[in-house]
Structure 1
Amino acid sequence: MTAPARKRDPEGRRRTIVQAAVELLLEGDGADLTHRRVAARAEVPLGSTTQYFATLADLRTAALEEIAAANEAGLVEIREALAAPGSGPGTLAALLHDYIADEERIRADNALWAAALRDAELHRLVRHWYDGFTAVLRDHVSPRAAVALAVYLDGAAMHASFHDEPLDLASLAAAIAVLSTVEGGEA
């Protein structure tokens, strides 16, 4: 008796490969990302990684795009939370504190930033978050304040990368309250 044929799921296999590449990027600096390591992590044949991603650069880009997509989900969460009645600087501070306290999210963003520093084609992935975040904030503060808050968040995320503890909620709330009052036109 023969074993039943397994149903092919090319898109599922592709997602598994990309997720494995994301995991490996989060564990290292990306320099040691190989088709072989991704295939082993994804538990797929080596040929599958090269079937879906002809080059390692293609695979790395797909993994980084997956990280950027997670950031997009974060923007939706921020937009919805700030649109809720009674929200304000404290709401934003709480959301940002949750973000910088999430070590995996910080590692993911660091992987994205580091890759974009090495490859100008990836700048779009980092800018997408920044542009989206400032657009969300412009519904609540001046354009200059939105830029100041976005730049501050980038700094707070870097701070979290190199310190044992991220900035505390009270410090974030105080900085956000001050930066939210920045006035002026387009930044």
Structure 2
Amino acid sequence: MPGEQTRRNDPDRRQRIITAALDVIAEHGVANTTHRRIAAAAGVPLGSVTYYFASLESLLTEAFLQLAEESSDAFRTHMARATDREGAREAIIDIIAGSVWAEPRTLLLSYELYAFAARHPAVSAVMQRWMNNSRAALERFFDPLTARALDALVEGIGIHNSIDPNPLDRPAVSEIVGRITDGRAR
């Protein structure tokens, strides 16, 4: 049958499964993510999920690795536009106050990633790589300790803003970034 031949030679199937895994995690959380839910979301037979991934943990690790790479790339892209320290500050403010980090789906997936990484060493390594990439981008303009503080600030404000009834606005974020990068205290 022509339709079956196309499905068997579906070169995008593995990627669809990974993308579907992230969708399922965002909707149901890691604890309620199953092979069946992922297969249904990807529009593939259940056997395809287990064919491409030996375990649910290996699939989740691959999905979280993709999330980390995409987030790192977006962070790096914003930081690469900066040509000086002031431009770097503006990039950080954009990352925090804009849609790079503050997008609800990214935040939800990041919460799940942190919780999963705490109990799974392979994913913990993914998190460490993400942090290292962010810090390396920041260290083009700031000393390592300031870069580390800014990295934590990016994620921390995003997390707080996602649940705070009075989230920090761009001017407040700008003030905080300025205090950290200039040592200003008011």
TM range (shorter): 0.7 to 0.9
Q: Pick which of 115-124 and 41-50 moved more.
A: 115-124
1:89 counterpart residue number: 89
Alignment-derived partner of residue 25 in structure 1: 25
Residues 122-173 of structure 1 deviation map (CA, whole Å, 9 limit, x = unaligned): 1111122221111111111222211221122222122023224642111111
Aligned runs of 1:38-187 on 2, under 5 Å? 38-83=38-83, 87-98=87-98, 99-164=100-165, 166-182=167-183
Question: Alignment length, in residue pairs?
Answer: 181
**Could you tell me which amino acid in structure 2 is paired with residue 93 of structure 1?**
I
Q: What is the Cα deviation at residue 8 of structure 1?
A: 4.3
Provide structure 1 residue ranges, at least 5 long, that are not aligned to the other structure.
183-187
Q: For 1:101 and 1:33, how far apart are their aligned partners in 2? A: 23
The letter for the 1-side match of 2:145 is R
Q: Which moved more, 1:99-108 or 1:110-119?
A: 99-108
**8 Å contact 1:106–1:160 — kept in the other structure?**
no
Q: TM-score, normalised by structure 2?
A: 0.86
For residues 38-74 of structure 1, the C-alpha deviation after alignment (integer angstroms, 9 at most, x for no partner) is: 1111111111111111211111111111111211211
% same residue: 26
- Is 116-125 or 40-49 further displaced after alignment? 116-125
Q: Where does residue 37 of structure 1 map in the other structure?
A: 37
* 1:87 counterpart SS class: helix
RMSD over aligned CA atoms reads 2.2
**1:101 Cα deviation from its structure 2 partner:** 3.0
What are the ranges of 5 or more consecutive residues in structure 2 without an aligned counterpart?
none
Instruction: Give TM-score scaled by structure 1 length.
Output: 0.86
